[in-house]
Amino acid sequence: MDVNIPEVVEEIRTLFERYEQALVDKDVEVLDATFWNSPHTIRYAIHENGYGFQEIHAHRVRRPPGPGIKLAHRRLVITTLGRDFATVNLEFDMRGRTTTGRQSQTWVRFPQTGWKVVSAHVSVTEASPAY
């Protein structure tokens, strides 16, 4: 299996950046289009857990627009396995906090719908890790 095929990594990077901008803009259409429309999709976040696309969508509609908790990306790691599976892991500084945020996404390319997030997680650490 080929790891980190450059054009696949760039596809995922573009989709990830589109998703991040949609969070700021509260573009629910893009946010919904990013996630697999399935009861099997999961998104754990700091203030809610979404089990299934419908719960995730309901949170998207309720949340306010704006930059939210992110301030700056510290480290972004995209790993692709073949042409149809990828992970994105982000460590970021949190606005107004001394904690560090972490975000992970699992992406799968579906034949009919293209790349979708099937699982996502956002959490915080109490202290910034040393490198």
Q: Tell me the C-alpha to C-alpha distance, in Å, between residue 125 and each of 46, 48, 60, 105, 129.
A: 11, 17, 24, 18, 8
Q: What is the pLDDT of residue 69?
A: 59
102 part of a folded domain: yes
For residue 108, the enclosing domain spans 6-125
Domain tally, the chain: 1
Q: What is the pLDDT of residue 98?
A: 76
1 part of a folded domain: no
130 part of a folded domain: no
Q: Give, for all 131 residues of the chain, the pLDDT tens digit.
A: 999 999 999 999 999 999 998 988 889 999 999 999 999 999 998 888 999 999 999 998 988 776 555 667 789 999 999 999 999 999 988 777 778 889 999 999 999 999 999 999 999 887 655 55
74 part of a folded domain: yes
Sign of CA dihedral 94, 53, 28, 65: negative
CATH number, position 71: 3.10.450.50
Residue type, 85: F
21 part of a folded domain: yes
Sort 96 into a burial class: Cβ within 10 Å, 0-12 / 13-18 / 19+. Answer: exposed
